[in-house]
Amino acid sequence: MANHLFDALFAPLAGRERDLLILPDGRRIAGGAFLRLVARMAGALRGLGVGKGDRIAVQVGKSPEALACYGAAAALGAVFLPLNTAYTPDEVGYFLGDATPRVFVCDGAKAGAMGPVAARAGARLVVLNGDGSGELADLAAQAPEVEAVACGPEDLAAILYTSGTTGRSKGAMLTHRNLLSNAEVLVREWRFTAGDVLLHALPIFHTHGLFVASNVALLSGGAMIWLPGFEAGAVLRHLPQATVMMGVPTFYTRLLEETGLTRDLVGHMRLFVSGSAPLLAETHEAWAARTGHRILERYGMTETNMNTSNPYEGERRAGTVGFPLTGVELRILAEGREVGSEEVGMIEVRGPNVFAGYWQMPEKTREELRADGWFITGDLGKRDADGYVHIVGRAKDLVITGGYNVYPKEVELLLDEVPGVAESAVIGVPHPDFGEAVFAVLVAQKGAVLEPGAALAAIAGRLARFKQPKAAVVVEALPRNTMGKVQKNLLRDAYKGWFA
């Protein structure tokens, strides 16, 4: 029976003797063996009552078995619901209550704390440990291999909750078509083949590691070096076996701190991709100088998969996210009309990649997804004269001071150029006169002595007065989430009383 996603990503593994997964302990799992694991995992989940349309929530470490759960969900026509391993029982309780999964797969170490949470949501808890052991693995070992059920392109394949720094986290409903269409275009535009070996050090509870990386490798018939997480030493050890790496910007900044990162080590690599958070132009240049490779930066989000990419062939422009992918429309609006080049506005996208709406939130869906298919991303951006898209930041991070709009990115770019500044985050904090004041949080370069007032003085001549930060602090490091995004909400919270 035809199953839109499964037939493209998993079914072709049948009988394949080539490796699909290369593990850090030296184990290798051939494509055919992995497909049988998927089929038995589907058998085990079916045995637990999972049928088409049921949700399977999964909060586990990254193992081959965890990836097999995704394949099994696709086979059963179930909806895969991965959860960040950092979520606490309270947080998980919200997701389980909202999505009412049939089964909740969790690590044995958390089973005690999660038991009552799963019970409240009516989900059957089953254990899968980070090393691939546990009740679910035991059930799979004895389960029959099941055939994939019929699924059309519009059937739901996954619900991914947005990281939601304000308000409730929303479940983005992704269809088989959303996932497959995006994997297809990325395989083409990034020239993936069966000869590729992807170094996979990203988590698989997020769109980047789960869909961009895994789907592209699966669809192209390549292999993946399946690392449990990012650790610079392990990445350096495995790079010589890889042809492609996908990472968040912090992967690149951390690797640059390693003397072992040399041109020779990565001479055979074909592609480095970055996304999920802005890659500083400085990091792009430092990487090129050290390795000879220009990182290819792309832009996407949970709700849309990938939207834009720098070109595989042609100029990869630092500080930009390139052009819309084939089949993806992108427009930038301000006050209801499309802006001209270099003008900032709200980015909207439309295409087969755009999600089907937020799970059980029809009003939120209507607010952000227009009836004619355009999704209002919440990202501010502009196109430069050559058409490259620049992300200026999230609209909710815009600072409005004395009635004027300040785009944090514009100020951050200048601050980052000041000698001694490694990076910066510009936020708005409450101010008695201006409503909000521009406020800068700076990180000093290693060994540099940075005086906040001097850093502000250094950029004063280059910015209109209202854009100049009214105060600055120097901190050890910016708070980031697992995907490397700066958590501006935490900074706003920390400094909200500064001008009180």
Tell me which residues touch ligand AMP (CB under 6 A): 162-163, 207, 275-278, 297, 299-302, 321, 377, 379, 391, 394, 483
Q: Which is nearer to ligand AMP, 6 or 355 (CB)?
A: 355
| Distance set, CA 389 to CA 259, 297, 331, 386, 417 (Å) | 33, 11, 10, 9, 22
Q: Are 332 and 381 in contact (CB under 8 A)?
A: yes
CA gap 172, 206 in Å, rounded: 12
Please, which residues have CB within 8 angstroms of residue 138's CB and are 6 or more apart in sequence? none
Least distance CB 484 / ligand AMP (angstroms): 10
**Can you read off the two tokens belonging to residue 46?**
């079916």
Least distance CB 379 / ligand AMP (angstroms): 5
Q: Which is nearer to ligand AMP, 38 or 321 (CB)?
A: 321
Return the residue matching tokens 């501006």. Answer: 488
Least distance CB 304 / ligand AMP (angstroms): 8
Q: Are 214 and 224 in contact (CB under 8 A)?
A: yes
CA gap 312, 294 in Å, rounded: 10
Least distance CB 249 / ligand AMP (angstroms): 8
**Count of CA atoms in the C-beta half-sphere (13 A) of 207:** 31
CA gap 260, 250 in Å, rounded: 17
Q: Which is nearer to ligand AMP, 196 or 412 (CB)?
A: 412
Closest CA to 235 of 212, 265, 275: 265
- The DSSP 8-state label assigned to residue 215 in this structure reads I
Least distance CB 227 / ligand AMP (angstroms): 20
SS (H, E, C) 370-438: CCCCCEEEEEEEEECCCCCEEEEEEHHHCEEECCEEECHHHHHHHHHHCCCEEEEEEEEEEECCCEEEE
CA gap 427, 440 in Å, rounded: 6
**Can you read off the two tokens belonging to residue 250?**
């912090």
Q: Which is nearer to ligand AMP, 207 or 214 (CB)?
A: 207
Q: Which is nearer to ligand AMP, 22 or 389 (CB)?
A: 389
Q: Which is nearer to ligand AMP, 77 or 275 (CB)?
A: 275
**Can you read off the two tokens belonging to residue 287?**
């990487």
Q: Which is nearer to ligand AMP, 45 or 179 (CB)?
A: 179
Least distance CB 207 / ligand AMP (angstroms): 5
Least distance CB 354 / ligand AMP (angstroms): 13
Least distance CB 162 / ligand AMP (angstroms): 6
Least distance CB 369 / ligand AMP (angstroms): 14
Outline where 227-327 has alpha helix (H). 232-238, 249-256, 281-291
Q: Which amino acid is at 243?
A: T
Q: Are 467 and 475 in contact (CB under 8 A)?
A: no
Q: Which is nearer to ligand AMP, 181 or 274 (CB)?
A: 274
CB-CB neighbours of 490 under 10 Å? 15
Q: Which is nearer to ligand AMP, 19 or 397 (CB)?
A: 397
- How many residues are recorded in the chain? 500
Least distance CB 224 / ligand AMP (angstroms): 20
CA gap 34, 42 in Å, rounded: 12
CA gap 28, 372 in Å, rounded: 46
Q: Which is nearer to ligand AMP, 124 or 480 (CB)?
A: 480
Least distance CB 229 / ligand AMP (angstroms): 17
Q: Which is nearer to ligand AMP, 189 or 379 (CB)?
A: 379
